Structure 1
Amino acid sequence: MAKKLSLFALTWPIFIELTLHMLTGNADTFMLSHYTDEAVAAVGVANQLLFMVVVMFGFIATGTSILIAQYAGANDEKTASYIGATSIWANLLFGVVLSVALWIGSDYLLQVMNVPNELMADARAYLWIVGGFSFVQALIMTLGAILRSYGFTRDMMNITIGVNILNIIGNYFVLFGPFGLPVLGVEGVAWSTTISRMIGLVIGFLLIMKRLPYPLPLLSKEAFSFAYVKQLLKIGIPSAGEHVAYNTSQLVITYFITMLGTEALTTRVYTQNIMMFIFLFSVAIGQGTQIIVGHLVGAQRFDEAYARCLKSLRLAVIISFTAAALFSLFSDQLFSIFTSNKWMIETGGTLILLTMLLEPGRSFNLVIINSLRAAGDVKFPVYIGVASMWGISIPLAYLLGISFDLGLVGIWLAFAADEWIRGLLVYWRWKSNVWRTKSFVKKEATA
């Protein structure tokens, strides 16, 4: 299986899929910015909480992608199919529980986030609807993990294209009210997002049934095996732990930004929407590399896996720096798409300039951490992530951004310090070759 996989063939559909995800997020922000800047800020804060939920779904989805890639690389398709079936049921149950929790606890969560009163109603409506149906996203993530692990990255790209088109059309109807239709604002955008995802989920299931070499035994007793759930969580929880550390640290830093005011909060949302187009190159390369490394490790081809990671890292660093430089040159024009506020445009331009320092460091993390996970070395990135994000990023963001009154610029400098420190540490870990002893398939075979 690994022989059939190439980085380019895997990465370009992932890149397009990620680009479309970013375009959808930008389309939501762009359309809402023509509604009100306050709506942009409200949805931005709600999405910070929803990102945390998506990370929780990653407990299962990440374990699924690693295990299926390793077992497929070892040509054990039957076990891979059992793991896929188990992961679907596990994330469905987990998704329903978290959906109910978000619906019930939305007010409390938004109050904890220190959401201004003028944003509360819109943030609550968005969180109720998108959060209440977040189990749909849990299933989409699981199906995506299964398809990508077998190399079917184009299928997820096509699903994303369809979902994004439906979402943009839906946003147009609910925000601009053509043909005399009512303008529904943030609530309408939330329903547009949810309904388009539901349609994507149905298509995802149809593709799973068509593509896989061994049908998913969803109603077999193995699909409900606690042993497989344990395997998924054994890898998935530590793997997702690094994401949890990142997103919880981002929640804390978002709280700091609310102390700077609504303009700063909105600028952060606009800047992140633009930055996503810069680092998605590294994200795509990291995900494509993870699939290949997982297959190679499952086949016990460690030297090839080692070289693949380092080649991908060099490519990601070069591309991310170049993209950051280009976006910095045109930052005024990019921010002008979203707002006419001069302070937001000027501050956002400075933040984009700082991404030339930040993004190469982020590339180390996106590529090497994905490779470490694929090899089964899932705990080390968590330890480093928690220590750096909570020991460096948060204190430094408060010190520079709030105490030294540097605002968003100080917070961006803290982000860069965190990315580079973590990046160099995981680079040392990969070079140490400790990950060669962590292969899950190898352990099972010799048990």
Structure 2
Amino acid sequence: MRQEAKTWSLFSLTWPIFIETLLYMVMGNADTLMLSQYSDHAVAAVGVANQIIALTIVLFNFVALATAVLVAQYLGARREQEAVDVSLVSLVANLLFGLLLSAILAAFSEPILRMMDLPAELLDEGTHYLAIVGGFLFIQALMMTVGAILKSYGFTRDTMYVAVGMNVLHVISNAALIFGLFGLPALGIQGAAISTAASRGMAFLALLALLHKRTNIPLAPRAFRRLPFHYLRSLLKIGVPAAGEHLSYNTAQMVITYFITWLGAEALTVRVYTQNIMMFVFLFGIAVSQGTQILVGHFVGAGRYEEAYARCLKSLYSAIAISVLLAAAAYWFAEPLLSLFTDDRSMIVLGRKLLLLTIILEPGRSFNLVIISSLRAAGDVQFPVYMGILSMWGVGVTIAYVFGITLGFGLVGIWLSFIADEWLRGLLMLWRWRSGVWMKKTMVPQAKMA
């Protein structure tokens, strides 16, 4: 039932991913935008809680990342039964791991936020949000796994359609539960949390139905009785290092967020508002990197290394060009964009400075998004981790503390650390791709060439 890789173009895979990712970002911004009309404190509390949630997602996202790589390579090598087996094992693994992490977040939400040094006036609201959204994160784990499988089979439009439905449901339920519409109680931040969890649950059911319809992957209970768990070794071999790179990034971001708490609640809030705008800037890079990963995975599985090499570089050039244009546009329209979130003049002025620095930051991020995804698709997952740890902590966190705190540059200093980290890692990744070492990292036997 899969589509033939040779009929795919980057555009045909990427535009649905672009729309889907945009809608997921809108979902996150819906909480921020609606809560900004409710309380600036609520926005800051959600911003810190979402740092914890993002870190948790990384911990079970390694299964989804590895699944995408293995399924794409097996399909490229025309070994479809192995692709089915990997998919089933990954679903069970992520369900169990997701349940464990969800239980931890639900039970220990307040102590975790205290460790983050969340200001006392934000603690109660942040605890409620983290307990509800975090307690149901296992649904997100399953969504990511099913979505990765569907995309590797080429059905990127299906995941896009689900994202559309989920966001419509989320925005409506958000408004109803935050502000008390349609006779419902006004629950504020708790309403946003309930809306997020419920809309994700509905989206997962839709994705599961599409997986059953589009692929030959059996979902009946008997299909899970005798699973080939030896595939866990391959999943872990790819997923653990890949997750390590993301885990290092998110942990470093949490430490930097901790530094920002020393600057006060206003700095935390400006960071949340500015990064919500920045998400739309690097959206194109995210979409291109995911589409490129699918193509590179299929090319590598089929032994078509020259096509994989060229595809990555072409995608990189496109991502850099678009990121610069979008970052410049975000800076040009900084005041009206920031005014959507706040009317505090000092916040708007500071946010505008950060968006100016984003013009330098985003091209560096494009290197990492596109090339790391391509390296991962080829099975070369350890190098990005080692270089990531070196750069994120040795450069990013260090410069954030020195420039942001010690020298007193505040959030401007923090943004300078982001720039230094992204560009250093990006150039290292480019060197790795050009070296061709990744061609020896394929995880599955190649297809026999005609």
TM-score between the two structures when normalised by the length of structure 1: 0.97
Change (3 A) 1:440 1:172: same
Structure with greater helix percent: 1
| Number of the residue aligned with 1:206 | 209
Matched, 1:59 2:62: yes
Q: CA deviation at 1:181?
A: 2.6
Cα distance between partner residues in 1 of 2:78 and 2:447:
14
Cα distance between partner residues in 2 of 1:221 and 1:11:
32
Cα distance per residue 1:328-382 (max 9 Å; x no partner): 0000000000000111100001101101100000000000000000000010000
Q: CA deviation at 1:444?
A: 11
| Number of the residue aligned with 2:308 | 305
Q: CA deviation at 1:223?
A: 5.8
- SS of alignment partner, residue 340 of structure 2: helix
Cα distance between partner residues in 2 of 1:247 and 1:231:
24
Cα distance between partner residues in 2 of 1:213 and 1:319:
37
- SS of alignment partner, residue 338 of structure 1: coil
Aligned Cα root-mean-square deviation (Å): 1.4
- SS of alignment partner, residue 377 of structure 1: coil
Cα distance per residue 1:20-67 (max 9 Å; x no partner): 111121111110000000000011110000000111111100000000
Change (3 A) 1:444 1:12: closer
Structural mapping, 1:169-180, within 5 Å: 169-180=172-183
| One of 311, 327, 331 as aligned partner of 2:330 | 327
Which amino acid in 2 is paired with 1:359? E
Q: CA deviation at 1:224?
A: 3.1
- SS of alignment partner, residue 222 of structure 2: coil
Matched, 1:387 2:390: yes
Which amino acid in 2 is paired with 1:388? S
Cα distance between partner residues in 2 of 1:189 and 1:237:
32
Cα distance between partner residues in 2 of 1:311 and 1:143:
28
* Percentage of pairs with the same residue: 57
Check whether the contact 1:144–1:156 (CA below 8 A) recurs between aligned residues: yes
Structural mapping, 1:261-340, within 5 Å: 261-340=264-343
Q: CA deviation at 1:221?
A: 5.9
Check whether the contact 1:291–1:374 (CA below 8 A) recurs between aligned residues: yes
Check whether the contact 2:99–2:138 (CA below 8 A) recurs between aligned residues: yes
Cα distance per residue 1:117-156 (max 9 Å; x no partner): 1100110001110101110000000001100111111111
- SS of alignment partner, residue 440 of structure 1: coil
Q: CA deviation at 1:314?
A: 0.3
Matched, 1:17 2:20: yes
Change (3 A) 1:216 1:79: farther
Which amino acid in 2 is paired with 1:178? L
Matched, 1:6 2:6: no
Check whether the contact 1:84–1:216 (CA below 8 A) recurs between aligned residues: no
Q: CA deviation at 1:73?
A: 0.5
Check whether the contact 2:77–2:445 (CA below 8 A) recurs between aligned residues: no
Cα distance between partner residues in 2 of 1:443 and 1:434:
17
Q: Which moved more, 1:205-214 or 1:388-397?
A: 205-214
Change (3 A) 1:444 1:311: closer
- SS of alignment partner, residue 300 of structure 1: coil
Q: How many pairs does the alignment contain?
A: 445
| Number of the residue aligned with 2:113 | 110
| One of 135, 144, 163 as aligned partner of 1:132 | 135
Check whether the contact 2:378–2:438 (CA below 8 A) recurs between aligned residues: yes
Cα distance between partner residues in 1 of 2:128 and 2:300:
45
- Mark the runs of 5 or more structure 2 residues left unpaired by the alignment: none
- Mark the runs of 5 or more structure 1 residues left unpaired by the alignment: none
Which amino acid in 2 is paired with 1:340? D
Structural mapping, 1:15-414, within 5 Å: 15-215=18-218, 219-220=222-223, 224-414=227-417
| One of 411, 432, 435 as aligned partner of 2:435 | 432
- SS of alignment partner, residue 226 of structure 1: coil
